[in-house]
Chains A and B, each alone.
Chain A
Amino acid sequence: MHSSELRELILDWLDDNYHFGDARTLMHDDNMSWLENGILSSLGFVQLILFLEDKLGLVLDRDRLTRENFDGMNKILRHVLGQKGTPA
Chain B
Amino acid sequence: MSPDVLYTPSPTHIATSLWTEFTGFVNEAHNEKIDTETELYRWSIRFPDRFWRTLWDWLELPFDGSPDPVVENRGVQHSRYFPNVRLNLAEVLLSPRRGIPGTIVLSSRHETGPGKDWTLAELRAEVAMRVTGLRSLGIHRGDRVVAIVHNDDQAAISALATLALGAIWSSVAPDLGKDAILSRFSQLQPSVLFAHTHTRTNGQSQSLWPLLSQVVAGLTSSNTELFSVVVLDITEPLAPPNDLPARVRTLTAQEWRTEAPDPLRFDRVEFDHPAYVLFSSGTTGPPKGIVHGHGGTALEHNKELLLHSNLGPTDTLYFQTSCGWMMWNWQLSALCTGARVLLYDGSVTWPEKDSLLELIRNEGVTAFGTSPAYIQMCMATGVHPTRPDPLRLVLSTGSPLFAHQYDWISQRLGPVQIDSISGGTDILGCFFLGCPNRATVRGFSPIISLGLDVRVANENTLSDHGAGELVCAAPFPSRPVGLWGDHDGSRFFAAYFAERPNCWSHGDWVELNPDASARVIGRCDGVMNIHGVRIGPAELYPVVLGFTEVEAAAAVDQEFPAEPGGRRLILLVVMKPQLPLDRPLILRIKKALRDKLSQHHVPQLIISTGGLPTTFSGKISERAISDAIHDRPIRNQAAIRNPETLSTIRDQIIGSAG
Cβ–Cβ contact B353 & A67, under 8 A: yes
In the complex, what distance in Å separates the CA atom of A64 from the CA atom of B381?
A: 9
Cβ–Cβ contact B203 & A43, under 8 A: no
> Of residues 14 to 58 in A, which have CB atoms within 8 Å of B's CB atoms?
15-18, 20-21, 35-38, 41-43, 45-47, 49-50, 54
Q: Which residues of B contact A61 (CB under 8 A)?
A: 382
Nearest chain A residue, comparing its CB with the CB of B382: A62
B563 within 8 A of A: yes
Cβ–Cβ contact A42 & B563, under 8 A: no
* Secondary structure call for the A interface: helix
In the complex, what distance in Å separates the CA atom of A63 from the CA atom of B381?
A: 8
In the complex, what distance in Å separates the CA atom of A54 from the CA atom of B604?
A: 15
With A15-B587, A66-B353 as contacts: A35 and B202 at CB distance below 8 Å? yes
A65 within 8 A of B: yes
Cβ–Cβ contact A46 & B588, under 8 A: no
Contact of A67 among B351, B384, B531 (CB under 8 A): B351
Cβ–Cβ contact B353 & A65, under 8 A: yes
Cβ–Cβ contact B381 & A20, under 8 A: no
In the complex, what distance in Å separates the CA atom of A21 from the CA atom of B588?
A: 8
Distance in angstroms from B175 CB to nearest chain A CB is 10
In the complex, what distance in Å separates the CA atom of A54 from the CA atom of B562?
A: 9
In the complex, what distance in Å separates the CA atom of A43 from the CA atom of B147?
A: 25
Contact of B348 among A42, A63, A65, A67 (CB under 8 A): A42
Distance in angstroms from A36 CB to nearest chain B CB is 5
In the complex, what distance in Å separates the CA atom of A66 from the CA atom of B383?
A: 9
B387 within 8 A of A: no
Distance in angstroms from A46 CB to nearest chain B CB is 5
Nearest chain A residue, comparing its CB with the CB of B584: A21
Cβ–Cβ contact A62 & B562, under 8 A: no
B33 within 8 A of A: no
Distance in angstroms from A14 CB to nearest chain B CB is 11
> Which residue, of A35, A49, A63, A64, has the highest number of chain B Cβ atoms within 10 A?
A35
In the complex, what distance in Å separates the CA atom of A15 from the CA atom of B591?
A: 10
> Of residues 336 to 354 in B, which have CB atoms within 8 Å of A's CB atoms?
347-353
In the complex, what distance in Å separates the CA atom of A35 from the CA atom of B373?
A: 19
Distance in angstroms from B630 CB to nearest chain A CB is 21
Cβ–Cβ contact A50 & B562, under 8 A: yes
Cβ–Cβ contact A49 & B564, under 8 A: no
Cβ–Cβ contact B587 & A20, under 8 A: yes
In the complex, what distance in Å separates the CA atom of A43 from the CA atom of B531?
A: 9
> Of residues 358 to 382 in B, which have CB atoms within 8 Å of A's CB atoms?
373, 376-377, 379-382
Q: Which residues of A contact B353 (CB under 8 A)?
A: 42, 65-67
B590 within 8 A of A: yes
Contact of B381 among A17, A37, A65 (CB under 8 A): A65
In the complex, what distance in Å separates the CA atom of A21 from the CA atom of B585?
A: 10
Q: Which residues of A contact B531 (CB under 8 A)?
A: 43
In the complex, what distance in Å separates the CA atom of A41 from the CA atom of B602?
A: 14
With A35-B347, A54-B562 as contacts: A45 and B587 at CB distance below 8 Å? no
Cβ–Cβ contact B202 & A66, under 8 A: no
| Proximity bits, A68-83, B CB within 8 Å = 1, else 0 | 0000000000000000
Q: Which residues of A contact B351 (CB under 8 A)?
A: 67
Q: Which residues of B contact A47 (CB under 8 A)?
A: 563-564
Cβ–Cβ contact B588 & A20, under 8 A: yes
Distance in angstroms from B356 CB to nearest chain A CB is 9
Cβ–Cβ contact A42 & B347, under 8 A: yes
Cβ–Cβ contact A43 & B584, under 8 A: no
B residues near A (Cβ < 8 Å) are 202-204, 206, 347-353, 373, 376-377, 379-382, 384, 531, 562-564, 584, 586-588, 590-591, 594, 599, 602, 604
A residues near B (Cβ < 8 Å) are 15-18, 20-21, 35-38, 41-43, 45-47, 49-50, 54, 61-67
Given contacts A36-B204, A43-B373, A43-B531, 16 further A-B contacts (CB under 8 A): A20-B587, A20-B588, A21-B588, A35-B347, A36-B202, A37-B204, A42-B347, A47-B563, A47-B564, A49-B380, A49-B381, A62-B380, A63-B384, A65-B353, A65-B382, A66-B353
Can you offer 13 A-B residue contacts whose CB atoms are under 8 A? A15-B587, A20-B587, A35-B203, A35-B350, A36-B204, A42-B349, A46-B564, A61-B382, A62-B379, A62-B382, A64-B382, A65-B353, A66-B353
